[in-house]
Structure 1
Amino acid sequence: MACKILVIEDDKIQRELLVDILVENGFIVFSSHSAEKGEKLVGQENIDVVITDVRLPGKSGIEFLKSVKRVRDVEVIVVTAFSNIDDAVKAIKLGAFHYITKPYDVDVLINLVKKCCELSRLRRALLDKDKIIFASPVMERILSMASLFAKADAPVLITGESGTGKEVIARYIHKESGRKGKFVPVNCTSIPENLFESELFGYEKGAFSGAVKSKPGLIEEADGGTLFLDEIGDLSLSLQAKLLRFLQEKEVRRVGGLETKKVDVKVVAATNRNLEDLVKEGKFREDLFYRLNVLRVKIPPLKQRKEDILELSGYFINRFSRKYGKQIALSSEAIDLLLSYDFPGNVRELENILHRAVLVADGEIKPEHLGINKKESVFSCVLPPGKRLPDYIDEIEKAILLNALEEANFVQTRAAKLLGIDEKSLRYKRKKYGI
């Protein structure tokens, strides 16, 4: 998606000239003759970069910078006359990305804008990945507990229904731990059992047919960081025994190898299953359960923390609106419907619903765009006004495909498994929708 630029300049000729130059360079450009109007545009249009003159009618560029930085992390380039260098220094102290003096070199300005856009893109990507959106007291307590557990050496076990955000909490624990190593996620259900040991522990050259060179496993990759074992309840008993040995000894031995290697890994495990019941049924090792169940975080389903629904909705709508270059709001009727729904698929279902709603809505999300009915069907039986059925079905399918691909980090094998289709079908559908 193209970077959005706002030009604030009271001189009409200079403003229009700069707008034309920026448009020619592929940017989406908005303009204003005043700081007051500019402040409104920053919020309304999700502006990435502002280019503002210092001298403006009414509020100055410096005052604009001060007020906008209080509420929004937007990059600002200040344009000043050479004689106003003190203003430029003030601007930098207040958080401006850079300043340029009049008359300025257009190429220099364009390069500055490109750097600002990249910085904005990286910041938003980081926020989308790591930011935890909540308003409920229960989530506040969970985050406080997770922050405390992050400093301990013992494993952390996260439990909760599918879609409640267990990996989000696991990433938060890693971030709070201060560990310099990587966060390495392992989905225990996505790796075939016959490959799991070699993937987790690594292997030496010649360990098996096709092992043409040695390869470290995921545990070694997480050395100095965090190993996240998702869906731990689905591991076979034989693999549970190998994992238990690693947790006890804090060392790994590659498949086909003789030497062991000590590793420093923070282990976080997660499951949507009741491990106590699995232990009673003989499907989960009791000793492994007690080894993992030292520090436990239980995430309640979304229906038990209604306060989070609107916070999450605003976040998802903003994220998908930016992605598709749209301006979308949530109607009061749609809000009522969201708050009355139980969300059996939890946060992931809310994300999917709003992803599709942003795609199909025009300006405002209404109840029919959500595809929710009281029978908890994710898709509506009512065709939105002005839509043809084939087009509407395509929109829904594209949204589902995009969500699965994003969840799988665009790893095609994993995305196909999430969707319940083969890779050939997924390739065809990606080509069909231009994904």
Structure 2
Amino acid sequence: MSQSPRLCLVEDDAIMRASLCQRFKIEGIDCDCFTMAEEALAALEERQYEVLISDIRLPDLSGEQLYNRLIERQKLPPPTIFITGYGTIDQAVRLLKLGASDYITKPFDLDALLIKLREVAAALFDDMQGGGVELGVSPAMRQIQTTLDRLAAHQVDLLITGESGVGKEYAARYFASRIKNGTETPFIAINCAALPEDLLEAELFGHEKGAFTGAGRVRRGVFEQADGGVLFLDEVGETSPRMQAKLLRTIQERVVQRIGSENTIPVDVRLVYATNRDLKMMVDRGEFREDLYFRINVAHVHIPPLRERKEDIHWLANCVVENYFHEHKKRRLILPLTERYLESLPWPGNLRELAHAVERACILSPQEVMGPREFGATEAAPLASRGNASLKDLMEEYEKNLLRETLEHHEWRIAETAESLGISRKNLWEKMKRYAISQPG
């Protein structure tokens, strides 16, 4: 699968449960399997799952009761596929009306279930791109997303802090998308550090015709352009004392005065500020106005760096891979071995650095499967240090793991695996024989 969601499977039939778990493992899907609904409920409280698959008839609770319990606990159920017999189709339809994603009737082919799972995963990916799971899958980002949902319902401005590249503008756009005012909300962004002060002033507040040399026409500033919507002021900590004073007046009075005009223009705009600086420390050093700091720090969200939310590394990398496929119609595959390597890196540039690295690997990779070396690693780099193990041993272990994971991904189909690895079938067979790799069972 191009997206590999974490699954919670609830199935009391031991044979079916084992069969499903084995197939999911072959597909490279992380799956936790449970016999009882209460066990699954406890797990759903502790761990974030992207998809829930549940039989409707369970020993302790029905699938419908399980789903309703999640709703009663004010916990949004993950996208859910129910397994049902023909006698419980009406119940499955009721669950669809409550918000379940789909159902499949017994007896069913495993491939049919995987097709439905792929459809749910694709919809989940689309949500990530356009308004559902937008910011990440880690607990930290899910909590931030919940906070932004709540703040969007109130008339408050927002301060977003975090290191460069963590996704502050993504968060601002998500916040804007959650504001419901009956019309499409305009979103205007400006980087306060990207322009010299005189140009920044003109961009922010606009100017009248003839206000300065080159001002050949009236121009609205971004405050006016964002009227009725959201204005994102990135790197607000880089503004000069003079600009801070002008911003303070505009923020307090919700009016703008164009350069060269004596008139003020009222604006109805939600403001989102972002910075990678410590504004409180800047206030203490006299570099940032205290009154402006208190004005913009009403609602504050801090986005942690990528190295502190490693769950998002896999998610973001696969988002980039999916975008690459849509744009270029070329498939790329990141195996668990590569995911572990990516998670071991510090990513000082955060999301921006990771996205660029994955895109570059997609472009330069000569085959479908992307290993750690496509990300600039030596072959042995992803492997843990093991005392006096030789480089040759480490490289052989890396190759063996890569072969096995690629074979499992392609369900041990030799031709597909060889094509993904960019080698001949004969070469693949020889390597399998060398490393004693054979299909289990």
> Unpaired segments of 5 or more residues in structure 2?
1-107, 382-441
- In structure 2, the residue matched to 1:243 is 247
Give the Cα–Cα distance (whole angstroms) in 2 for the partners of residues 372 and 177 of structure 1. 43
Listed as ranges, the matches of 1:394-413 within 5 Å are none
Deviates more, 1:349-358 or 1:177-186: 177-186
Deviations 1:341-391 (A, max 9, x none): 1211111111011011111111110111012579x9xxxxxxxxxxxxxxx
Answer yes or no: is 1:365 the counterpart of 2:370.
Answer: yes
Give the Cα–Cα distance (whole angstroms) in 1 for the partners of residues 294 and 203 of structure 2. 25
- Give the AA of the match of 1:340: S
Q: 2:284 aligns with which of 276, 280, 285?
A: 280
Give the Cα–Cα distance (whole angstroms) in 2 for the partners of residues 256 and 213 of structure 1. 12
**Other structure's SS at 2:148 match:** helix
Change (3 A) 1:176 1:189: same
- In structure 2, the residue matched to 1:355 is 359
- In structure 2, the residue matched to 1:407 is none
**Other structure's SS at 1:267 match:** strand
- In structure 2, the residue matched to 1:255 is 259
Change (3 A) 1:279 1:318: same
Give the Cα–Cα distance (whole angstroms) in 2 for the partners of residues 146 and 373 of structure 1. 41
Answer yes or no: is 1:186 the counterpart of 2:235.
Answer: no
- In structure 2, the residue matched to 1:225 is 229
Give the Cα–Cα distance (whole angstroms) in 1 for the partners of residues 357 and 121 of structure 2. 27
RMSD: 2.7
**Other structure's SS at 2:178 match:** helix
CA contact (8 A) 2:364 2:374 kept: yes
Aligned residue pairs total 264
- In structure 2, the residue matched to 1:71 is 120
- In structure 2, the residue matched to 1:169 is 171
- Give the AA of the match of 1:370: F
CA contact (8 A) 2:135 2:145 kept: no
Give the Cα–Cα distance (whole angstroms) in 1 for the partners of residues 339 and 304 of structure 2. 21
Give the Cα–Cα distance (whole angstroms) in 2 for the partners of residues 322 and 67 of structure 1. 20
CA contact (8 A) 2:135 2:141 kept: no
Change (3 A) 1:302 1:199: same
- Give the AA of the match of 1:211: A
Change (3 A) 1:274 1:372: farther
Listed as ranges, the matches of 1:196-211 within 5 Å are 196-211=200-215
**Other structure's SS at 1:177 match:** coil
Give the Cα–Cα distance (whole angstroms) in 2 for the partners of residues 221 and 257 of structure 1. 17
- Give the AA of the match of 1:164: V
CA contact (8 A) 1:133 1:315 kept: no
TM-superposed CA distance for 1:286, in Å, is 0.6
> Unpaired segments of 5 or more residues in structure 1?
1-58, 75-122, 377-435
Give the Cα–Cα distance (whole angstroms) in 2 for the partners of residues 331 and 147 of structure 1. 34
Percent identity, aligned pairs only, is 40
Answer yes or no: is 1:160 the counterpart of 2:165.
Answer: no
Listed as ranges, the matches of 1:17-28 within 5 Å are none
Deviations 1:36-71 (A, max 9, x none): xxxxxxxxxxxxxxxxxxxxxxx9xxx99x959953
**Other structure's SS at 1:186 match:** strand
Give the Cα–Cα distance (whole angstroms) in 1 for the partners of residues 377 and 238 of structure 2. 31
Listed as ranges, the matches of 1:60-139 within 5 Å are 70-71=119-120, 128=129, 132-139=134-141
CA contact (8 A) 1:133 1:311 kept: no
- Give the AA of the match of 1:365: M
CA contact (8 A) 1:279 1:285 kept: yes
- In structure 1, the residue matched to 2:306 is 302
- Give the AA of the match of 1:310: H
- Give the AA of the match of 1:302: L
- Give the AA of the match of 1:367: P
Deviations 1:226-276 (A, max 9, x none): 000001111111101000000110011111112111110000000011111
Give the Cα–Cα distance (whole angstroms) in 1 for the partners of residues 137 and 121 of structure 2. 20
Deviations 1:91-138 (A, max 9, x none): xxxxxxxxxxxxxxxxxxxxxxxxxxxxxxxx97x9746561522111
- Give the AA of the match of 1:363: E
- Give the AA of the match of 1:321: F
Change (3 A) 1:259 1:71: same
Give the Cα–Cα distance (whole angstroms) in 2 for the partners of residues 69 and 298 of structure 1. 33
- In structure 1, the residue matched to 2:337 is 333
Give the Cα–Cα distance (whole angstroms) in 1 for the partners of residues 211 and 347 of structure 2. 47
Deviates more, 1:288-297 or 1:200-209: 200-209
**Other structure's SS at 1:279 match:** helix
CA contact (8 A) 1:321 1:358 kept: no
- In structure 2, the residue matched to 1:317 is 321
CA contact (8 A) 1:353 1:371 kept: no
Give the Cα–Cα distance (whole angstroms) in 2 for the partners of residues 137 and 214 of structure 1. 48
Change (3 A) 1:373 1:149: farther
- In structure 2, the residue matched to 1:411 is none
- In structure 1, the residue matched to 2:147 is 145
